[in-house]
Amino acid sequence: MIVVGAGPAGAIAAYHLAGRGYQVLILEKDYFPRHKPCGGGLTYRALDLLPFSIDPLIESSIHSFRFTHRFKKEFIRHSEQPLMVCIMRDRFDQFLVDKAREKGADFMEGIKVSGFTETFDKVLVHAEGQEFAASFVIGADGVNSLTAKTYLLNQNIRKGIGIESEVRVQEDQLERFRSMAGLDWGTFVEGYAWVFPKADHLSIGVGGPVGLARHLKHYYFRFLESLHMGDVEIISFRTFPIPYRTGYSRLQASRVLVAGDAAGLTDPMTGEGIYYALKSGKIAASVIMDYLEGTTTHPYSYRQRLEDEVVSELLSAFPLLRIFNSAPALIHSLMRKKSRLWRGFCKVLRGEVRYSQFKDKMGRYSFLWKPLIGLATMTELVRKMNFKAKKLKKA
């Protein structure tokens, strides 16, 4: 097997395949440990997917959220139970690759895959003038996936854009965010700003649609200013795309499967992608093993499994996103006043409730779901049309 890309999707797929005794080669274009622009927020459902502990990598555990709406109306909500943990991606990704290597996977770094050729029973992977043959290829090569482009597996994927920075702050400010994440919403029609605490600094970032990319930097600095943190040192500042799947489409071409960001598997509500990378990497490995071990005669069950277990859930986030985008001020105020909404937010983060269950939670009012979504979609459209960059400057 060849795995292209050593992010969470590729490393976990390699871990499972190598663990079952298959010969696995991971080809990675960068040298590890490498920086990946990412908030490093890891939910409990992502942790549950890991077959080993990552305790030494945990930089902080989040119990509270500080919410603001357009930098104002601040309030903090607490949870008894931890909601998520924060990790640094360079250490986390290196750790996962090491685990795959312990199971017997080979890892070649600094090798950029440049193309593929199909033969009767193999895929030839071309990289840096070399050729590697595999029975199956898992394209886990991220948002700009060459694998997905080559095999036209990049349909129905839209891109958002995020800025991620690592910021050194004074000790008292670090203490202020010790087990607390920060969220600002409502400034853009879509998107939000966040703070995630790490052991000795903060990760601060903003995300939004590509169309608003030129305003993101301004939003970032306004957000940073609004945190009133005194002297800060920005140690890294990167812009990077985030893929969102907007519909069903092919995820496999014969012996080539795509997983993680390469398959556009990021939550359109929150931007969470590590969970979906781990989940799809694991499913890809399991489908290949089932086929080779004769449990299934159908190598194409990957699409079906991924649609059932991942894509359908991601797509059911869109109606909720419409509702949120149509009335962020209202949602912000309800989040402060209604414990039920806060508990729902916590349950989503903890993976205890799925987006697809929200409609059912309306109980006898579920007949109002469709009109509500219709109204929200129209309101969101009007908000988008009215959005002017000057509003951002006035915020």
Binding site for ligand FAD (CB under 6 A): 4-10, 27-30, 36-41, 112-113, 140-142, 146, 162, 164, 205, 240, 242, 260-262, 266, 271-275, 277
Residue at shortest CB range from ligand FAD? 273
Alpha carbon distance 214, 208 (integer Å): 10
3-class secondary structure, 155: coil
Measured from the CB atom, the residue of 6 and 331 that comes closer to ligand FAD is: 6
Long-range contact pairs involving 207-216 (C-beta distance under 8 Å, separation at least 24)? 207/160, 207/161, 207/162, 207/163, 207/242, 207/271, 208/160, 208/161, 208/162, 209/160, 209/161, 210/159, 210/160, 210/161, 210/241, 212/188, 213/161, 213/239, 215/188, 215/389, 215/392, 216/161, 216/163, 216/191
Alpha carbon distance 325, 304 (integer Å): 31
Considering the complex, what minimum distance in angstroms separates the CB of residue 381 from ligand FAD? 26
Considering the complex, what minimum distance in angstroms separates the CB of residue 386 from ligand FAD? 27
Residues 6+ apart with CB under 8 A from 391: none
Could you tell me if 354 and 344 are in contact, meaning their C-beta atoms sit under 8 angstroms apart? no
Q: For residue 228, which amino acid is it?
A: H
Measured from the CB atom, the residue of 83 and 376 that comes closer to ligand FAD is: 83
Measured from the CB atom, the residue of 190 and 326 that comes closer to ligand FAD is: 190
Query: Among all chains, which residue has been given the structure tokens 């092919």?
Result: 250
Measured from the CB atom, the residue of 258 and 376 that comes closer to ligand FAD is: 258
Considering the complex, what minimum distance in angstroms separates the CB of residue 167 from ligand FAD? 14
Considering the complex, what minimum distance in angstroms separates the CB of residue 362 from ligand FAD? 28
Considering the complex, what minimum distance in angstroms separates the CB of residue 330 from ligand FAD? 26
Measured from the CB atom, the residue of 169 and 259 that comes closer to ligand FAD is: 259
Measured from the CB atom, the residue of 170 and 236 that comes closer to ligand FAD is: 236
Closest alpha carbon to 393 in 222, 227, 193: 222
Considering the complex, what minimum distance in angstroms separates the CB of residue 294 from ligand FAD? 29
